């Protein structure tokens, strides 16, 4: 007990009081981790996940590992192609706008579009969702978007991890990572070896900035004091809120490109991600070859003009940071270019002849008309 006339407390009494407060012992919930919420999330997402299933999937959610059967009647000599990615600070824009239902599509797109460049068909996908505090509605929206992305890509969402880590992330924060595995016949692998000088560079339209350059995008929003509700022209020409144009989910090119690959006339594919047009296409070119890009060959979506004007961004910085309206590039011999452009359009993705593969002998492998 406290001493009479004193403000000091008895250490033994303090210890006993604290002990009585936790007489039932600490729980994981006391530490900030809600196991019951995690279990409820699994039940909530089961219907969405079920829609992504393929016949080759042999297990459901809840196991320690997922089983996937390779159909050896379909594949003669399959090679597995893997990829992993995230969506970067586009997550912060989603949080700013309070919209979490499409960011999962971005996650799938970044992974499956990458493995597509080898000619691979995505087979299955896994996700990692990490947060400081699990908010069920928010997490359900995110994973629902992942399931939608898998449906668009034709791959199964066969598993994942939801990690609640108080102290690691701030209130309302979360992060995502995705992992995709696909298959391609050894004889059909796209490795760029068939690309020659004179090949045409065919640019397939993007849906917006996709999932790259968002640190710069957020900086432009900050310095310009932008109203994210203001209207600009969307990629289809119709008015759309600036925030919606910036948050538009990354286009998934899998099904149209796999269809076009059946013709055997595509010699290389490049996914336009971080590094933009100037640094991604050259990754699939043989040594000694470069690009001559005509930046006037397609109409750049207004969202990129808004970014450039409000951020005072130099044209060269635009081309090495953003996709500028071109999200996937096909490289093909000149005699096949027009047919591929028409086929892409018929499959729902506008496509443009944006340049030519050229011989180079210096360190700079990209030439464009803005220089």
pLDDT of residue 226: 95
pLDDT of residue 215: 97
pLDDT of residue 365: 84
Q: Cα–Cα distance between 162 and 167 in angstroms, integer?
A: 16
pLDDT of residue 23: 57
Residues of the chain with CATH 3.30.1330.10: 35-60+75-188
pLDDT tens for 193-213 read 999 999 999 999 999 999 999
What does each of the 371 residues of the chain score in pLDDT, given as a tens digit?
333 333 444 544 444 344 445 557 999 898 888 899 999 999 999 999 999 999 999 988 878 899 999 999 999 999 999 999 999 999 999 999 999 999 999 999 999 999 999 999 999 999 999 999 999 999 999 999 999 999 999 999 999 999 999 999 987 899 999 999 999 999 999 999 999 999 999 999 999 999 999 999 999 999 999 999 999 999 999 999 999 999 999 999 999 999 999 999 999 999 999 999 999 999 999 999 999 999 999 999 999 999 999 999 999 999 999 999 999 999 999 999 999 999 999 999 999 999 999 999 876 888 887 65
Q: How far is CA 14 from CA 5, 6, 9, 22, 33, in A?
A: 18, 16, 7, 13, 27
pLDDT of residue 24: 76
pLDDT of residue 370: 61
Encoding tokens for residue 132?
């400081």
> What number does CATH give the domain 200-368?
3.90.650.10
Q: State the average pLDDT for the chain.
A: 92
pLDDT tens for 12-21 read 444 434 444 5
Residue with tokens 């900050």: 222
Q: Cα–Cα distance between 184 and 277 in angstroms, integer?
A: 26
Question: Which stretches within 166-213 are classed as H helix?
Answer: none
> What number does CATH give the domain 35-60+75-188?
3.30.1330.10
Residues of the chain with CATH 3.90.650.10: 200-368
pLDDT of residue 294: 96
| Run of H or E residues at 47 | helix 35-50
pLDDT tens for 146-172 read 999 999 999 999 999 999 999 999 878
pLDDT of residue 289: 96
Encoding tokens for residue 326?
């071109």
| Run of H or E residues at 356 | strand 351-359
Three-class secondary structure of residue 168 per DSSP: coil
pTM: 0.92
């Amino acid at each position: 007990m406290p001493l009479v006339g004193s403000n000091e407390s008895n250490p033994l009494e303090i210890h006993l009081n604290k002990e009585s407060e936790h007489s039932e012992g600490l729980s994981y919930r006391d530490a900030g981790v809600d196991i019951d919420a995690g279990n409820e999330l699994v039940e909530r997402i089961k219907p969405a996940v079920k829609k992504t299933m393929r016949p080759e999937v042999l297990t459901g959610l809840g196991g320690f590992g997922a089983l996937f059967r390779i159909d050896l009647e379909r594949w003669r000599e399959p090679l597995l192609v893997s990829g992993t990615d995230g969506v970067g600070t586009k997550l912060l824009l989603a949080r700013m706008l309070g919209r979490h239902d499409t960011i999962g599509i971005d996650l799938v797109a970044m992974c499956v579009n990458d493995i597509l460049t080898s000619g691979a068909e995505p087979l299955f996908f896994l996700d990692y969702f990490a947060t400081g505090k699990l908010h069920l509605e928010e997490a359900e929206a995110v994973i629902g978007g992942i399931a939608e992305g898998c449906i668009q890509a034709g791959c199964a969402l066969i598993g994942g991890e939801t990690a609640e880590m108080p102290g690691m992330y701030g209130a309302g924060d979360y992060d995502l990572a995705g992992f995709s595995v696909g298959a391609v016949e050894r004889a059909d692998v796209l490795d760029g070896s068939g690309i020659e000088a004179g090949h045409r560079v065919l640019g397939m339209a993007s849906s917006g900035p996709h999932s790259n350059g968002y640190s710069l995008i957020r900086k432009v929003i900050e310095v310009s004091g932008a109203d994210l509700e203001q209207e600009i022209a969307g990629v289809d020409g119709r008015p759309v809120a600036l925030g919606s144009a910036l948050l538009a989910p990354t286009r998934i090119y899998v099904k149209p490109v796999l269809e076009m690959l059946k013709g055997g006339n595509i010699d290389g594919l490049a996914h336009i991600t971080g590094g933009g047009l100037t640094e991604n296409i050259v990754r699939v070119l043989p040594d000694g070859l470069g690009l001559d890009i005509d930046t006037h060959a397609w109409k750049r979506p207004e969202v990129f003009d808004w970014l450039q004007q409000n951020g005072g961004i130099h044209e060269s910085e635009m081309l090495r940071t953003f996709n500028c309206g071109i999200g996937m590039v096909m490289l093909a011999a000149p005699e096949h270019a027009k047919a591929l452009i028409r086929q892409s359009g018929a499959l729902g993705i506008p496509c443009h002849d944006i340049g030519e593969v050229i011989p180079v002998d210096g360190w700079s492998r990209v030439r464009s008309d803005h220089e």
